[in-house]
Amino acid sequence: MADSWVNSAERIGSDLLVDLTGPGSRRAVLIRALRDAVREGRLAPGTRLPPYRSLAADLGLARNTVADAYAELVAEGWLTARQGSGTRVARRAAPVAPARVPRRSPHRPAGPVHDLHQGKPDPGSFPRTAWLAAARRALNAAPNDAFGPGDPQGRIELRRALADYLGRSRGVRTTPERIVVCSGFAHALRLLFGGGVLRGPLAVESYGLGFHRSVLDAASVRTVPLTLDEDGACVDELTGLPGVRGVLLTPAHQFPTGGPLHPQRRSAVIDWARGRGGLVLEDDYDGEFRYDREPVGAVQGLDPERVLYAGSVSKSLSPAVRLGWMVLPDHLVDRVLAAKGEREAWASVPDQLALAELIESGHYDRHVRRMRQRYRGRRDQLVAALGAHAPHITPTGIAAGLHAVLRLPPGTEQSTVKAAVWQGLGLDGLDAFRHPAATMPAADGLVVGYASPPDHAFTAALEALCRSLPPA
């Protein structure tokens, strides 16, 4: 007899897969199956089993077969049977042995007490009430076709909301028809290069996310690093790269070094793209969070046909909400949709509808403004702590984003990262983000994320950070 699912209305608990295959009588097979379910933990101690009549009907067995199986398991101590209480798994039944946890070496510190890794927004500030209300309103208003196979371009409700929001907040020039919803920037790279829409080689900044480089490596895309200075990427180097027709930039707030792309370089990279017939990929990494002035608008606004703009809610809301977008030049829309396929396979339609409603209702703007104030306060605390305890070390770049780079004396980065680990900190050295083929001089530094630690622990995290820094 094949495996059967037991789902009696009288049973307390979840469905249970009972394997009735194997040698022996039906009674013996049932006894073995129930015993295995208890031994493996699928039937926990105290779980009430269905009455034998119900289980017999569910499994297509004779009542006496099930009654005899119950009686034998009671006699063996696997089950208990009491008047008015039914048949239950015995409390003395041994649970599954827990996995053995290896002992920590007394010479190795435990995991980080304070997480200062970059790129993590405050998880406790996710707007749960506003999101729940937006989801409820969106689902109540959604047409029936929203619950069919998803449109690979994304729901029109979200694309309309994004076109309006990006236009007024980031200076992006677009229409809903030129937006394709994805699950984040890495997904956009996979679609563009893994899907054959674009080809390498691709110029990139000398410092950036290694994860993005690994996505490009997986698509066999050769990346060529551009020098960085206080004005951002040195885009004039593009003219000396004859085989390169694409460049990936983080112009609002270079990741991780922290400077914006200078206005003259913004114009220069557009001129290069026009003259080369090339394309600028604009990663609007935490572009909403500028603290010393209004955020700089997107480069895309200078030429929507030569710039592919990409963004997501991973920093503004949460990386758990897997929603991002590409604002495409007109000639790339159909090619990206062909690479994506006939159905949406990544971005949840209910989440798209909820985000659209969150934006349309104004709650998204209010959340971003609130988080802008919160993160600015965190950065100010970091700067104040350094001024008080390590005045020889200051953050570089503009006041923006969710992290700061602390430049260190030459030759001290590795020892400082090690000291931070011993202080219970999780963070990265600047070298972790350096392109392996970069030729610009290496700089020692720490990339300190200040957004995610809870308020009650942030002061202690800063004290531990200051204890880790090299002396003047």
Q: Are 282 and 298 in contact (CB under 8 A)?
A: yes
Structure tokens at 375: 């993160």
Q: Can you give the pLDDT at residue 105?
A: 52
The amino acid that residue 180 corresponds to is V
Nearest to 314 by CA among 347, 280, 292: 347
Q: What is the mean pLDDT of the chain?
A: 89
Domain boundary among 320, 345, 363: 363
Judgement on whether residues 218 and 268 belong to the same structural domain of the protein: yes
What mean pLDDT comes out for the span 362-375? 94
- What is the per-residue pLDDT for 264? 96
Q: Helix (H, G, I), strand (E, B), or coil: what is residue 225?
A: strand
Does residue 457 carry a pLDDT above 60? yes
Domain boundary among 316, 338, 363: 363
For the residues of 291-311, what is the DSSP string, one character each?
Answer: SSSSPPPPGGGG-TTTEEEEE
Q: Are residues 239 and 343 in the same domain?
A: yes
Write down the pLDDT at residue 1: 44
pLDDT on residue 360: 96
Q: pLDDT band at residue 92, thresholds of 50, 70 and 90?
A: low
Q: 98 in a domain, yes or no?
A: no
3-state secondary structure 357-376: HHHHCCHHHHHHHHHHHHHH
User: Is residue 376 domain-resident?
Assistant: yes
CA–CA dist 33, 36 (Å, integer): 5
The CATH number given to whatever domain includes residue 24 is: 1.10.10.10
* Domain-located, residue 107: no
The b-or-e profile of 80-96 (16+ CB within 10 A means b, else e) is beeeeeebbbbeebeee
Q: Quick one: 357 and 399 in the same domain?
A: no
Same domain, 24 and 145: no
Clarify whether residues 371 and 359 are in a common domain. Answer: no
Residues 262-292 have pLDDT tens digits of: 999 999 999 999 999 999 999 998 888 888 8
311 plus 375 within the same structural domain: no
Residue 414 host element (H or E): helix 413-422
Q: Single out the residue in 74, 89, 104 at which a domain terminates.
A: 89
104: in domain:
no
Contacts of 284 (CB under 8 A, 6+ apart): 170, 250, 252, 298, 309, 310, 311
Q: How many residues does the chain have?
A: 472
What is the domain range of residue 299? 126-363
Claim to verify: residue 144 and residue 50 sit in the same structural domain: no
Are the CB atoms for 16 and 6 separated by under 8 Å? yes
Q: Are residues 181 and 323 in the same domain?
A: yes
| 324 in Cβ contact with 183 (< 8 Å) | yes
* Residue 159, CA atoms < 13 Å, CB-side half-sphere: 19
Q: What are the tokens at 167?
A: 């236009």
My answer on whether 155 and 201 are in the same domain is yes
> Within this chain, do residues 196 and 336 fall inside the same structural domain, yes or no?
yes
Average pLDDT (14-27) is 75
Q: Which of 57-71, 94-108, 198-212, 242-256 has the lowest mean pLDDT?
A: 94-108
Asked if residue 197 and residue 185 are part of one domain, the reply reads: yes
* 83 in any annotated domain: yes
Q: How many structural domains comprise the chain? A: 3
**Do both 449 and 420 map to the same domain?**
yes
Residue 73, pLDDT above cutoff 50: yes
Percent of the chain at pLDDT exceeding 90 = 66
Between 439 and 106, the more confident residue is 439
Q: What pTM did the predictor assign?
A: 0.79
As a whole number of angstroms, the distance between CA 465 and CA 216 comes to 34
Bigger pLDDT: 189 vs 113 = 189
